[in-house]
Amino acid sequence: MSLEGVPVTALTHLGGFAEQVLLHENNIVRVDQPIPHEIACVLGCGVLAGAGAVLNAAQVPNGATVAVYGCGGLGLMAIQAAVLVGAAQIIAVDVVDDKLEHARRFGATDVVNSAEVDPASAIRELTGGGADFVFDFVGRPEATKYAYESVGRAGELGVVGLNKPGTKLEIEIGPSFVWNQVRIRPIFNGSTNFKRDIPYFVKLYNEGQFKLDELVSRSISLDEVNEAYTQMHLHNGRTVVTFA
């Protein structure tokens, strides 16, 4: 497949809408605990990348303040992971009110609609100077810039959303840049060891600590994939393709 002459492949060569797929054993993990297949499937990306960013990459400690830009599937799982570690304040940022309400159900203590207010100013006001950990799941330079400006002194920005190749991000460097000591951490797939993390997340699900059922907003057949893509902006969480 190509897009404007540029080859397009599945991310890490694993994705695809096929009834059967051949995988290397290094890309497979056995799950012995009970979990429905249509719920287990979301563990392969959304949960690992979202929750893993908080638990593995940033290792957010108890009592920290956290802000999450983008309340899709990954952002919701980051919020839920922040709840799990005992974050003192969890601020969800998005441009869609329905997604922000969904974020509250996953544990956000505060929400900010960035289409209505400057999100960085709102977060600095809510936290008294900026959040300890900010995660950008949007993948747009303007969102990343706002996310950077939302970090408090000696805090950390985790960049998870993928910007287009060649995207430029401008950050002003002055005395405050050194004084604030803000760290920028790129995060791929939640810095995950999936053979360890997937069974752990299944355990949390079975203990009632992870809202995976609520993460799945609808199930569709393979024939409905194209329609689901056109309506993706209308749904929170994840759409699951089921095979009869």
Flag whether pLDDT at 105 surpasses 80: yes
Model pTM score: 0.89
Report yes or no on 74 lying in a domain.
yes
What mean pLDDT is predicted for residues 47-63? 96
CB-neighbour burial class of residue 19 (10 A; exposed 0-12, middle 13-18, buried 19+): exposed
pLDDT, residue 13, reads 66
Average pLDDT taken over every residue of the chain: 89
Alpha-carbon distance of 72 to 70, in angstroms, equals 6
Question: For a pLDDT cut of 90, what percent of the chain falls above it?
Answer: 59
Flag whether pLDDT at 7 surpasses 90: no
Report yes or no on 18 lying in a domain.
no
Report yes or no on 243 lying in a domain.
no
Report yes or no on 228 lying in a domain.
no
**Domains identified in the chain, total number:** 1
Alpha-carbon distance of 204 to 199, in angstroms, equals 9
Report yes or no on 152 lying in a domain.
yes
Report yes or no on 49 lying in a domain.
yes
Report yes or no on 213 lying in a domain.
no
Domain CATH number, residue 153: 3.40.50.720
Report yes or no on 161 lying in a domain.
yes
Domain range for 171 is 44-189
